[in-house]
Amino acid sequence: MDRHDFDIPVTFKHRLIFTRGAFLDGNMAVSDILAEGSGRRVLVFLEESVSSAWPNLVDEIHGYFDDLDFDFRGVRIFRGGEACKADETLVREVWSEIDESHIDRHSYVLVIGGGAFLDAVGFAASTAHRGVRLVRFPTTTLSQDDSGVGVKSAINAFGKKNWVGSFSVPFAVINDFAFLESQDSETSLAGLIEAVKVSLVKDREFFEWIEENVVGLVSLEQEPFSECVRRSALLHARHIAMGGDAFETGSSRPLDFGHWAAHKMEGMTDYQLSHAEAVAVGVALDTIYSRKKGLLGESEANRVIEVITRLGLKTYHPALDWMDEKGRRRVLAGLDEFREHLGGELTVLLLQGLGKGIDVHEFDLKLLDESIEELREMWEAVAR
């Protein structure tokens, strides 16, 4: 055997910009970012719901590029929402537009929309020509404070969330806070669950800041709301860039606290349960389980549940109690799928304190049953 091992260092620049009114006259955030590359062609993909909420946006985008030295190939509008990840239809449409517009590896694809739309268009961009430059504009709380600042994109397949996808660092992520103002209040607040999650596993001080500012957050006051999104996005981005496993080659995924159950419940409900709603239940479940396992104090667990509740999110969903033909909770299959998605042994992060996580590799199913029962009882008490 003649073997040769080569260590190839690979580095990426992960650009994250915060602004307001990115396509308004005088805002140089977009032009400055694009100027860092050598490409001239620009193609924009815009989610239909965002276009409807901002009827002047297409004209603003055209006007913005009219004043710049770029070969602007226009705006393409497509439907988004979770349905756009259900199959590869949108991916193929984006491929076709990229091909017809002669977008190459030095060109730019700008994608403006919520998390599901960013996922589908991002996957198409990451696979066209083995990857064209992608600039993301997340437009929802959930995508600005979590998924939109990451390095993953995917669509669903085989009844499983994010089964087909890729790791690809976007050329830049531009969080335009103005887009958040077009959301309804329920969607705005629900997206903060990812801020709560990342604070619980990364930054106790941030969790306590959320506690102290929850009234302003619930009132959608611009300053604390934008600050919450900003701090969450930075924590997510720093973990990806500096956590040592940006492309998840290992088995630990601290940013997926509460997600093993959330992803399964989304699929079980045919995605009628939104990602934010599912994560709220998943975080509550793993918090209660952490307490029952003796890892987390009772007062700390109660504080987590209180914050989730004050944000208007539920900590229980009946899907937790749906059984299969063998009388086993269907949601438990989420543990197997979580392990399989990564490979290797099961690794789930639990809470050892506020802002401090610990990896575990097995679950006590009896304690898990008791945790679900406790969440159900709390929910029933509130319902009464």
What confidence tens digit (pLDDT) does each residue in 294-326 have?
A: 999 999 999 999 999 999 999 999 999 999 999
Packing angle, helices 204-212 and 298-310, rounded to 10: 50
Indicate the CATH number for domain 16-182. Answer: 3.40.50.1970
Could you give the residue range(s) of every CATH 3.40.50.1970 domain in the chain? 16-182
Contact 23, 174 (CB under 8 A): no
Higher pLDDT, 240 or 273: 273
pLDDT in tens, 36-95: 988 899 999 999 999 999 999 999 999 999 989 899 999 999 999 989 999 999 999 999
Q: Which of 357, 161, 125, 165 is nearest to 247 (CA)?
A: 165
Instruction: List helix spans (H) across the chain.
Output: 29-34, 48-53, 57-66, 89-100, 115-127, 141-145, 185-190, 193-202, 204-212, 214-218, 222-242, 259-268, 275-292, 298-310, 333-342, 365-383
Of 82, 263, 26, 250, which Cα lies nearest the Cα of 161? 263
What's the fold here for domain 185-383?
Answer: Dehydroquinate synthase-like, alpha domain (1.20.1090)
**CATH 1.20.1090.10 spans which residues of the chain?**
185-383
pLDDT by residue (tens digit) across 100-151? 999 999 999 999 999 999 999 999 999 999 999 999 999 999 999 988 888 8
Quote the pTM value: 0.91
Pairing of strands 356-360, 348-353: antiparallel
* Segment 345-356 mean pLDDT: 92
Question: pLDDT tens digits for 256-279?
Answer: 899 999 999 999 999 899 999 999
| pLDDT over 70 percentage in the chain | 96
